[in-house]
Amino acid sequence: MSNRARYSFVALVATAVIVVGSSTVQAGSCAATYTARRGDSWWSIARKSQTTLKQILKVNDASMSTLILVGREVCVPAVPVAAAAKPVVSVKIYSRQEVEQIIREIWPDDLEARALAIVDRESNLNPLAKNSCCYGLFQIYYKYHKNWLPGVGVTSVNQLLDPRLNTLAAYTLYQRNNGWGPWE
């Protein structure tokens, strides 16, 4: 490579870096700007800005190969309202006494003592107990029983974490099996 060609190549690369490094952000398309720091990438800036890589590249008219120089102002798109607001899930925490009362309400008097002993062994009276297969107070195996559970109001595995539905399903399971077989 001749000296002239080498200098032309270096000048071309330097110009490209300067253009990329000094690109201006279009104010109208940006919700905010982010000043690039050492070690930043398009992906890390997108993550810090709670947006997607695709969106950050689009508003900056960039690609993954576009250089990000330290100090560059990067356009950050607006975060959609639905993505910004995370749903709040309310879970009622039941005391041991409340759980015992639910079991006493659903199970017949002559069976409730054994039902309480099983719940104590299976879940320690914790309605949110679950393991690799079973859910709730009575540790009901959802996949095995999902065909008949809708009859007692259980249409998803998470509903077995409701102590009242789990206890009702357990009593129905007891009746279907003519005894305590599923827990022995």
Question: Sign of the CA dihedral 56, 61, 62, 67?
Answer: negative
Question: What pLDDT was estimated at residue 85?
Answer: 55
- The alpha helices in 60-125, defined as continuous H runs, are 81-84, 96-106, 109-123
DSSP H or E run through 19? helix 3-21
Whole-angstrom distance, CA of residue 79 vs CA of residue 117? 51
Compute φ and ψ for 141, nearest 5 degrees. Answer: -80, 100
33 in helix, strand or coil?
Answer: strand
Whole-angstrom distance, CA of residue 93 vs CA of residue 126? 9
- For residue 1, give both structure tokens: 């490579």
pLDDT band at 19 (very low <50, low <70, confident <90, very high): very low
Asked if 79 and 51 count as a contact pair (C-beta separation under 8 A), the reply is: yes
Q: What average pLDDT is seen over the chain? A: 81
Domains of the chain: 3-81 (3.10.350.10), 96-183 (no CATH)
Question: What pLDDT was estimated at residue 155?
Answer: 92
- For residue 105, give both structure tokens: 């309400």
Tens-digit pLDDT profile for residues 154-175: 999 999 999 999 999 999 999 9
Mean pLDDT along residues 121-142: 94
Question: What pLDDT was estimated at residue 102?
Answer: 95
